[in-house]
Structure 1
Amino acid sequence: MSSTDHSSPSDDPSDSPSGDSSGDSSGTVERAFRAALYDTADATLDTGASLLAADRSADAELVRRGAEFVATAWRRGWQPADLVRLVRRELDDVHVALVTELIRTQARDDRPRGRRWAAQLAELSADTPPAPATDRFSHATTVLELYRLLLRLPTLEPLQEPEPHRQARPGSHSRMLTRIRALLAKAEATGFPQEAEALTAKAQELMARHSVDEALLDAQAPAPDAPGACRIGVEPPYEQAKAVLLDAVADANHCRAVWNEPFAFSTVVGFEADLEAVELLYTSLLVQAQSAMAKAEAAQRAGGRRRTKTFRQSFLAAYAHRIGTRLGEVTAAAETQVTEELLPVLASRVVAVTAATDRMFPETVSTRLRGVTDEAGWTEGAEAADRARMRSRPRLP
């Protein structure tokens, strides 16, 4: 697990979207931006909001400029889910609704960007309610607060979503994902640890088979696919332990994960089928871990012991550590199952993923878990990991 340093954006107004100030509406927007966007004082924010609130003719120009800010974020390597996640963490729900609407507006004039991008847009449309009605001054204040944040976005590593060079077997991919999602959903919903373990193990077995099938098909293609990358949110609280868990799941599925702590996500690099497995499995394990932690806390309280943040941090850290250990053991045991034909195929994919990661992140640093001091939390977390995971997973390296 690693974190990386990112370059800071320029605060020079010339680096931000600019409009024609010859008209009255664009002139109002320019004056409001000069007052509010390049200074963080509340007084200047009020000045800019007052200018915008007083000029209804500036509304369309303000939306257009917001869409330009969004387009600039895409050029800096951000994606829709990244942007919404940051706004949700730094600002309020009303800002989330506003940036979501701006993303939708910008998308109408944007170029096609791949399956993952389209899925993020669809999820935004389904999950985000519209912004509530408010007075013009409050709305203008909200807009300027959001634009301040968008203006100062740093540049992220661009994510490539390579187009596959071969056609998947008709319907096989979607059917497999449907089965895996159904198994993991049942594992998350059941109150019986043994049943959750069996369901999760079966899901992993399907993932393993699908991954190997994809590797063999790719090796036979005239132009093999290249690794891609995706970002997965690693949200506070206890984000360090969550990043360790994601790192363990990524490693077991032939992927590499690099954690960006300041912006609460990890970038996972790997081949498409493996990236999907990581997303599904990490999400499910996190749900199972949180459910197990809630039960452990209830048991501790029933015994008269008050549980704290330290208990929860230690619980999740132990859970992640134990998951990583067991995954490593299973991977080592599965190496003996690899055929002579399959070894060079999988080895070449490991090399490709490592090379892609090194290109994207030439400089990374390791980090250590903090705040893991509660013995009861560690013990409970390790036991929960044992219940959640894989008794006999036929995972190939």
Structure 2
Amino acid sequence: MSTSRTVDRAFETALYDTADHALDTAASLLAADPGADAELDRRGEEFVATAWRRGWQPADLVRIVRRELDDVHLRLVARLIRAQAPHDRPRGPRWAAQLDAVPEGSAAPRADRFSHATAVLELYRLLLRLPTLEPLETGGAEENGRRTPREARPESRALARIRALLAKAEATGYPEEAEALSAKAQELMARHSVDEALLSAHAPAPDTPGACRIGIEAPYEQAKAVLLDAVADANHCRAVWNEALGFSTVVGFESDLEAVELLHTSLLVQAEAAMTKAEAVQRAGGRKRTKTFRQSFLAAYAHRAGARLRAAAEAATAEAGGAGDVDLLPVLASREVAVTDRLERMFPETTTTRLRGAGDAAGWTEGTRAADDAEVGRRRPLR
């Protein structure tokens, strides 16, 4: 039997039948034919290329495999992504950064041929059933009659400073210092956004909104999604949460998307650290750790931080506008319209959801206090 026929038979047996015995039968077929390995890898690269056509990106694929399967499958998909990349078309700087972040796929040695074949088939089952996602890519410049992605731009000094400030805020053990560092970071973000908006407004070919996906990891996904929504809103972006697949899609202009990614990650780190300290105090007072305490803590943190983010962004934007000769309002309004238009074209139907499991009073109080400590506005917290 040809190696291609072996793989065909294995796929017919296992990929379209989810029963365990079908998987065992197919894995036995592949384990008995060492010559089928190369063809099996080639088919895997085809599955990856199909995922790209369905709107998935490297970070999405890594995230869904990590979420649904095990480390062995993560190593396998990482190897397939890297193997397929040289045969793919250029897709821009964000895609290239995701490829660079794909974990190394050459980890633990195979235990035996049957176990390896089983893992491969389990991975391919998942890849085969991936749904189609909203495409994130937008057209770039015209070159020889075809669309090409925009060129990568070096990181601005403002973003480098923002990154450094947030790293210090995460590392410090003093809430007041974290507050001051985060405040300065948000101020720089707002001013950087204004600068980018004005540059784009006077450019021969103004920028158009883009989009990215940010993973919302378990546990307490809903509260984390609310925090991301607040960060996005304060930075002229919009976020839509896909609960089933564990990510939010954020729509906005590139400089604002970068700010959202940085600030959301930093606030999560600060929230987790503050929650750990608050739980220690609760336990010292005789209370056990509870899921409702943590859920309420993060929900309150997201609510409070969101309000202060918006206030800080509005204050910094107003100051930047008052210091210049150009009226910012028409520029920012046109960008908001562009973001909303892109969002509605990507997601013509969305719905709202009620935050669940946030009924613990102590958790809510401590989460609010932690958000005050991590305040990103320029005013002192209200007491």
TM-score by length of 1: 0.89
Equivalent residue for 1:147?
Answer: 124
Give the counterpart of 2:109 among 116, 125, 132.
132
Identity %: 74
Is the Cα–Cα contact under 8 Å of residues 164 and 225 in structure 1 kept in the other structure?
A: no
Provide the residue aligned with 2:374 in structure 1. Answer: 388
Residue 299 of structure 2: aligned partner: 317
- Distance of 1:169 and 1:292 partners within structure 2: 36
Structure 2 residue 327 is matched with structure 1 residue 349? no
Would the aligned equivalents of 2:271 and 2:301 in 1 still touch at CA under 8 Å? Answer: yes
For 1:48, the equivalent position in structure 2 comes to: 26
CA pair 336-170 structure 1, distance change in 2 beyond 3 A: closer
Aligned length: 368
C-alpha distance in structure 1 between counterparts of 2:312 and 2:189, whole Å = 14
Give 1:174 deviation, angstroms: 3.6
2:87 aligned counterpart, secondary structure: coil
Gaps of 5+ in 2: 143-149
Matches within 5 A, 1:183-198: 183-198=165-180
1: CA distance between counterparts of 2:182 and 2:20?
51
Gaps of 5+ in 1: 1-22
Q: Which residue number in structure 2 is paired with residue 248 of structure 1?
A: 230
Residue 116 (structure 1) aligned with residue 102 (structure 2)? no
Deviation at 1:271, TM superposition (A): 0.2
Query: Deviating runs (4+, > 6 A) in structure 1?
Result: 167-170
Structure 2 equivalent of residue 35 of structure 1? 13
Secondary structure at the aligned position of 1:229 is classed as strand
Shift of 1:182: 1.2
Q: Quick one: structure 1 residues 66 and 157, their matched pair in 2 at CA, closer, same or farther if it must change by over 3 Å? A: same
Write the distance in 2 (CA, Å) between the matches of 1:365 and 1:297: 34
In the other structure, the counterpart of 1:99 is 77
Does the CA-based 8 Å contact 1:98-1:131 persist in structure 2? no
1:90 and 2:41 are equivalent in the alignment? no
1:216 to 195, 198, 210: 198
Deviation at 1:176, TM superposition (A): 2.5
Aligned to 1:278: 260
- Kept in 1: contact 2:239–2:250 (CA 8 A): yes
**Deviation digits for residues 185-216 of structure 1, max 9, x if unmatched?**
11001000000011111111221221111111
The letter of the residue matching 2:133 is L
Deviations 1:356-389 (A, max 9, x none): 0000000000001111111100000000000001
- CA distance in 2 between counterparts of 1:35 and 1:363 reads 38
Deviations along 1:151-185, whole A, 9 cap, x unmatched?
Answer: 000000000255489x99985x3433222111111
2:3 is matched with 25
- Look up the SS of the partner of 2:250 in the other structure: strand
Residue identity matched to 1:341: D
Contact 1:114–1:161, Cα closer than 8 Å, also in 2: no
AA partner of residue 349 (structure 1):
R
Structure 2 equivalent of residue 230 of structure 1: 212
